[in-house]
Amino acid sequence: GAVVSQHPSRVICKSGTSVKIECRSLDFQATTMFWYRQFPKQSLMLMATSNEGSKATYEQGVEKDKFLINHASLTLSTLTVTSAHPEDSSFYICSASTSGAREQYFGPGTRLTVT
Amino acid sequence: EDQVTQSPEALRLQEGESSSLNCSYTVSGLRGLFWYRQDPGKGPEFLFTLYSAGEEKEKERLKATLTKKESFLHITAPKPEDSATYLCAVYQTGANNLFFGTGTRLTVIP
């Protein structure tokens, strides 16, 4: 149980374009979903927290107009990277929870490369 | 300033050579310390949660312990398949997220 999927697993896009990443909880309803970014050899940095049906809460330094998060249902959250630039290239990981930050189930991650 | 520090940054072991990974923390109001395993290009996989000093948990070759200042992940007689990055994270009073350390990259050589 508690399986979280992400799609796509890898994506390459051109600079200036937008790309959408999906995060799904497959066998449970997630009231909260978290989006992280991980650069090579670095740890997970929380970008934002989203609760179903409400606006996401972004961490300091994360541009909410650049990283659009939608959590329209209890099983799906999306992260859209708008006007992507090479410095946005990273590994994006989502997690889902039924009970807040303490119990998070992580997805397999999405490798974004912006050329 | 709240911090989570993991050491060593990288560790190479011979198969069967036991060792320990360290996670030290300086956060107020610890409500839980988590250990995860992360394979390259994958998301973190949950291993353990520890809630109070003195608590220990075991799973196969891994044992996690917790004091008031740090946690250890002991690996006994490791195998090559134990090679991964091990992350610790803390959950503290008043926070709504986990705060991760930078991880220890473990390589077990056959």
Concatenated DSSP letters of A46-103 = EEEEEETTS--EEPTT--TTTEEEEEEETTEEEEEE-S--GGG-EEEEEEEESSSTTS
How far apart are the C-alpha atoms of B37 and B42, rounded to whole Å? 10
Chain A residues whose beta carbon lies within 8 Å of the beta carbon of residue B42: 108-109
The answer to whether residue B94 neighbours chain A at the CB level (below 8 Å) is no
Q: Residue A103's pLDDT band (boundaries 50, 70, 90)?
A: confident
In this prediction, residue B1 carries a pLDDT of: 65
Q: pLDDT averaged over chain B?
A: 93
Residue B101 confidence (pLDDT) above 80:
yes
The answer to whether residue B95 neighbours chain A at the CB level (below 8 Å) is yes
In this prediction, residue A100 carries a pLDDT of: 76
In this prediction, residue B92 carries a pLDDT of: 84
Report, as an integer, the average pLDDT of B73-85.
97
Q: Which residues pair with B107 in a beta bridge?
A: B12
Q: pLDDT averaged over chain A?
A: 93
CB neighbour class for B21 (10 Å; exposed up to 12, middle 13-18, buried from 19): buried
B95–A109 C-beta distance less than 8 A: no
| A50-81: pLDDT as tens digits | 988 888 999 999 999 999 999 889 999 999 99
How far apart are the C-alpha atoms of A63 and A76, rounded to whole Å? 21
Report, as an integer, the average pLDDT of B86-97.
87
Residue A24 confidence (pLDDT) above 80:
yes
B94 DSSP assignment? T
Those of residues 63-92 in B touching chain A at CB distance below 8 A are: 87, 89, 91
Q: Residue B76's pLDDT band (boundaries 50, 70, 90)?
A: very high
In this prediction, residue A11 carries a pLDDT of: 97
A43–B97 C-beta distance less than 8 A: no
For the ranges A9-13, A99-103, A105-109, B53-57, the lowest mean pLDDT is seen at A99-103
DSSP codes joined into one string, A12-47: EE-TT--EEEEEEESSS--SEEEEEEE-TT---EEE
In this prediction, residue A42 carries a pLDDT of: 85
